[in-house]
Structure 1
Amino acid sequence: MHTVRTMIPYVPTGQVWFRLRLLAWCLLFACCAAGAAGALGVNEQDPVDSTLRSLGFRRTGLPIVARPVELRVMARYDTFHTIDFAGLEQVRRMETETNVRVAWDTVPSEEWGDVLELRFAGDDLPEVLLRPVDRIAQVRYGSRGLLLPLRELVERYAPNLQQLYAQHPGLLERATSPHGALYALPGPAQWEFNVNPDQMLINREWLDRLDLPIPRTMAEFEETLRAFKTQDPSATGRADEIPLSFRWGTRSQGPYSLIGMFGMLDDPGRHLTVRDGHAVFTANTPEHRAALEWFQALYAEGLVDPEAFIQDHHQYAAKGSAHSRRYGVFFDWDGVNVVGAQAIASGEYVAVPPLVGPSGARVWNLDPGATMNHGEAAITSAARHPEIAIRWIDALADPLVNLQWSIGPFGTTLARDGDLIVWADAPAGTGWGEFRHSHSLGRSAPVFWSSMTIRVQPNASIAGKIATLALYEPHFPHEYYPDVFYTVEETDELATLRPTIATLVSRQQAEWIVAGGIAEGWADYQQRLERAGLERYMEIHQAALDRAVR
């Protein structure tokens, strides 16, 4: 039998205690370092560069960084805006809470598309883009590496966004590009009525004064406009009434839904619809020509505002204000932005249902993309620290924070009634859009809240929009061109084709309505559309439609 000896070296007692104390200090230091790493968002599975460490970056909680950092953010400056975003109460509060200082780069809304294209073509990109980043831009610039893929960043650093997308299943999938990348964050639609992009409103007091009903047909509508022009409905003794006004080229304030009376709708952007499963270009059809001839006849009679093709929103609203009230009929999203909340709430102006056209057609536009909000925020390749950028966007995605960035702060445009959020009405003489955009980013803010996440009591403007949806919804088209993604190659082609064709159509429409000449110029117009690439334009849209409905 053999004895097994274990060789244990002799260590003096003093050295044993020294080594034990040294081991304890090492363990304590390791625990503290691990705790600090956790607070900074640093762990074995979360590689963070040394610069982020030096800034005190936190994966969760606020502030996002211990040391203040700057984030370059590009956003639209709406036609209603007259404020500096940096001075807004809710913006300053978030800067204090996050330690992220925003360097704002604001672009007028009407210049957004052109400026965005120039920025991507040059070397002056912001780090974050706020809405809208449309699907064409997402694919075009994402495929070139100029927009960062966001899904992994959301999974690692964005709990508010994670919760939002869990509450709205399918939202991320619908926002994912054909090759599987998420280049811009989607948001939910806040209200069902968002699918109704416009309404036609008529001066009820003028109707009552002239003993006229709300027109129901195209012929009745024409007679109503003539009465507004000739019978002094405002009772001022001045012939300054404007029977019909709009802003040509705009979706919510343009008269494009009226074209539905002739059997085919139109919109000022893509000029697309669907018939029997096939994509159709609307702006060269016999129905479209008939609509233009009708508008031209109204204009020749002096029934259309001569500034309808050149006025901006402020000019448009000035003629509808309480000081003027010159409009018999006008178009707007809800009317409040043009004539004020009181005029809508009191019934001075009321919505007109879709008119019956000469052949019995009665159709009204819908917005197929309004069931979700596309491209609410994106991060570009210029982002110095995408982790900070996505955490900043996620802080903005907190429902109550997001609501205040979009609508305004509590105590001004919003109030609390228990767990109910109440929207304030605009002051007398001020439209809701003007009031809202005086205290918030408004339509320039990304939308990450919905009635599923916040209980909201709408103001008179929103309540009116909900009520009028019932007038228009039964007359939405059964077939329409959906919101689709295009391939990289298609996107590159559309970047040239779409603005070329849209500009050609818009200018020719306005010219014909004002000056006439439709019959003489129609054939040449068709040829110019073909030379502009209409055939290829429609091939692309048909291919995208086929993929979408597969």
Structure 2
Amino acid sequence: MKPTKRRFTSLGTVLCASLVLLAACTNGQDTQPAAKAPVKEGDSTLNTSGLPIVKAPLTLNMLAGQSPLHGEWKDKLLWKEAEKRTGIHIEWTLVPQANLEEKKNLLLASGEIPDAFYGGGITSQDMISYGQQGVFLPLNDLIDKYAPNFKKITQQYPEVLKGITSPDGKIYALPKMSTNPTHRLNNKLFLNQKWLDEGSLKMPGTPDELYQVLKAFKAKDAARVPLGGTDIGGIIRTLTGAWGLQNRGSSNTYLDYNEKTNELRFFPTDPNYKEVLEYVRKLYAEGLLDSEIFTNTVPILTAKINKGIIGGFPSINTVPAGQKRTDYAGLPQALKGPYGDQLWSGMTSVLQNQGAFVITKKDKNPEATMRWADYFIDGEGAVLYWMGVEGKTYEMKDGKYRFVQDIVNNPNGLTLDQGISRDLVAPFTTHPIVREERFAWDTGEGLPEVIQAAKNLQPFAPKEIWPAFLYTKEENERMIALGNDIHTYIFEMQTQFITGKAPFTKWDEYVTTIKKMGLDEYMKINKAAYDRYKSR
């Protein structure tokens, strides 16, 4: 389940907030022109197409964030097979995810950098700042000549290229992407089909019908929790579309488009957003929403589901925390709101993470490095990354990729995630890959009921979905200052409105306070970023 309590530091995080990187923020007027990555057409060590990538063995040094599930990488089947095919050996520096930001910052500040950062915690502002300083190589030419798989994706999904192009026109990183609708529709609402059948209830088609269903769940047994979740944002995102809000997807925090005025909109101050919160307040006040919604975690919610007391929950799939299949089913369509809006806005962009892979100035073989990264984006390289080697980790059944029984039903008691992670580094990663539906068959996203839920909602997803916008260094500094205050205040007031600690008679005061926090400047900066994005 995806948490929504996002700190605004996703824009650039600690670039200006940490002493380690203070110099990078204060010497912006003296940055050097970005070094152009040498594209060596006649390099005798590089094969410009096919495998292996190089004519003689090559070693590259890369830093990667390490999930607790994955353990050491050097002995994994994935990387051994990749080296055999490509001729490139990777010396991995693995950093636990909890320490990744600190380690990354120290390396960048000291200049002791690897050839590449692979899922190395590079933020959008890192890309721009260190790209302009020449620490990260511009990838435009390398992509054009050595990344046919990535180019194909950008032709299919132009928003990817637009979303990773920095304000200076350079591309400094390859992103993580997802074309899997069950993954991108990451906030599907699932209801207990068994309870619906027992009460002769139909799946709801409007917010009011959902309210009536939840009331019926509670009336049957007072111990039931009609609607659960792991954060309040997930609940809100199931409803915004029914009020015509968040109409450009959920990748851009609090921004959408006002179709009446043809302008960017900050929807947390919109009157319709007030109605969404009033609806959630009603659920909370009547005991239809879990009273622990603000403190729940995935394990806590999973325990409640397993206990049989949860009537519904928003999630990416029906098996949180790797549990077995349940009695839950997704909505047959998006909820239709009081003004006729029928939008399912909880859809993320194909562009999932802008800084998944950067090549540094230390790399003497950027052409080979780009070919290596591109190999895993499509074709046999993508199969290797997601599924491993046929006969060892997966097999084909009815034309579908299936993990072998030793992974799915491990005799030593390993969970599915643990079994996959023994040989691979998927799926909990931010690597420069494409998350595809064809590789989801054995995970929660591949369950028939989850795929069906996504198919039901996909026709109601926004037609245009924005990725997160990129800002200049100066814009980012202001956005950090403005955004942290504004977003923190919004979350605090959401909580107070929903729990009843703040009455809705204070709504006008809430809107006025946000404006005084610098909303006009906040929107001016976002308008500039939006205009650059649209002009690409």
In 1, are the aligned partners of 2:330 and 2:450 still within 8 Å (CA)? Answer: no
Deviation at 1:292, TM superposition (A): 1.5
Helix, strand or coil at the partner of 2:63:
strand
Match of 1:402 in 2: 382
1:476 to 1:268, Cα distance in 2 relative to 1, 3 A: closer
Deviation at 1:203, TM superposition (A): 0.3
RMSD after superposition: 4.2
CA distance in 2, matches of 1:212, 1:244: 16
Superposition map of 1:222-261 within 5 A: 222-232=211-221, 240-248=223-231, 253-261=234-242
Helix, strand or coil at the partner of 2:93:
strand
CA distance in 1, matches of 2:454, 2:102: 33
CA distance in 2, matches of 1:457, 1:480: 23
Deviation at 1:254, TM superposition (A): 4.7
CA distance in 2, matches of 1:412, 1:249: 42
Helix, strand or coil at the partner of 1:279:
strand
Q: Which amino acid aligns with 1:324?
A: K
1:352-392: per-residue Cα shift (whole Å, max 9, x none)?
53223344433211535226874432224565865665455
Match of 2:12 in 1: none
Q: Which amino acid aligns with 2:170?
A: A
Please state if 1:82 is matched with 2:62.
Answer: no
CA distance in 2, matches of 1:340, 1:129: 30
1:422-455: per-residue Cα shift (whole Å, max 9, x none)?
467955999976765675331415354577xx97
Helix, strand or coil at the partner of 2:201:
coil
Q: Which amino acid aligns with 1:222?
A: Y
Helix, strand or coil at the partner of 1:508:
helix
1:166 to 1:494, Cα distance in 2 relative to 1, 3 A: same
Please state if 1:290 is matched with 2:280.
Answer: no
CA distance in 1, matches of 2:356, 2:226: 38
1:478 to 1:188, Cα distance in 2 relative to 1, 3 A: closer
Match of 2:299 in 1: 314
In 1, are the aligned partners of 2:241 and 2:341 still within 8 Å (CA)? Answer: yes
Matching residue within 115, 130, 134 for 1:145: 134
Helix, strand or coil at the partner of 1:177:
coil
Matching residue within 426, 439, 442 for 2:427: 442
Match of 1:12 in 2: none
Matching residue within 169, 184, 189 for 2:155: 169
* Larger displacement relative to structure 2 (311-320 or 218-227): 311-320
In 2, are the aligned partners of 1:148 and 1:381 still within 8 Å (CA)? Answer: yes
Match of 1:498 in 2: 483
1:317 to 1:405, Cα distance in 2 relative to 1, 3 A: farther
Please state if 1:512 is matched with 2:502.
Answer: no
Matching residue within 315, 339, 344 for 1:364: 344
1:318 to 1:538, Cα distance in 2 relative to 1, 3 A: same
Please state if 1:217 is matched with 2:225.
Answer: no
In 1, are the aligned partners of 2:237 and 2:346 still within 8 Å (CA)? Answer: no
Q: Which amino acid aligns with 2:325?
A: Q
1:5-57: per-residue Cα shift (whole Å, max 9, x none)?
xxxxxxxxxxxxxxxxxxxxxxxxxxxxxxxxxxxxx9986679xxxxxxxx7
Q: Percent identity?
A: 22
1:418 to 1:447, Cα distance in 2 relative to 1, 3 A: farther
1:196 to 1:65, Cα distance in 2 relative to 1, 3 A: same
CA distance in 1, matches of 2:104, 2:486: 19
Length, aligned pairs only:
478
Q: Which amino acid aligns with 2:155?
A: P
Match of 2:394 in 1: 414
Instruction: Give the structure-1-normalised TM-score.
Output: 0.72
CA distance in 1, matches of 2:309, 2:292: 13
In 1, are the aligned partners of 2:59 and 2:88 still within 8 Å (CA)? Answer: no
CA distance in 2, matches of 1:114, 1:497: 24
CA distance in 2, matches of 1:444, 1:511: 35
1:262 to 1:379, Cα distance in 2 relative to 1, 3 A: same
In 2, are the aligned partners of 1:128 and 1:383 still within 8 Å (CA)? Answer: no
Structure 2 segments unaligned to the other structure (5+ residues): 1-37
CA distance in 2, matches of 1:254, 1:124: 44
Higher RCO, Cα 8 Å, sep 6+: 2
CA distance in 2, matches of 1:75, 1:261: 38
Structure 1 segments unaligned to the other structure (5+ residues): 1-41, 49-56, 233-238
1:179 to 1:220, Cα distance in 2 relative to 1, 3 A: same
In 1, are the aligned partners of 2:214 and 2:311 still within 8 Å (CA)? Answer: yes
Match of 1:185 in 2: 174
Please state if 1:200 is matched with 2:186.
Answer: no
Matching residue within 497, 502, 527 for 1:542: 527
Deviation at 1:539, TM superposition (A): 0.9
Superposition map of 1:458-537 within 5 A: 458=441, 461-462=445-446, 463-477=448-462, 481=466, 484-519=469-504, 521-537=506-522
CA distance in 2, matches of 1:549, 1:63: 36
Q: Which amino acid aligns with 2:350?
A: A
CA distance in 1, matches of 2:39, 2:338: 71
Matching residue within 314, 323, 334 for 2:317: 334
1:70-102: per-residue Cα shift (whole Å, max 9, x none)?
62423363xxx5331525432354467633221
1:145-175: per-residue Cα shift (whole Å, max 9, x none)?
343212344466x4xx334425753758434
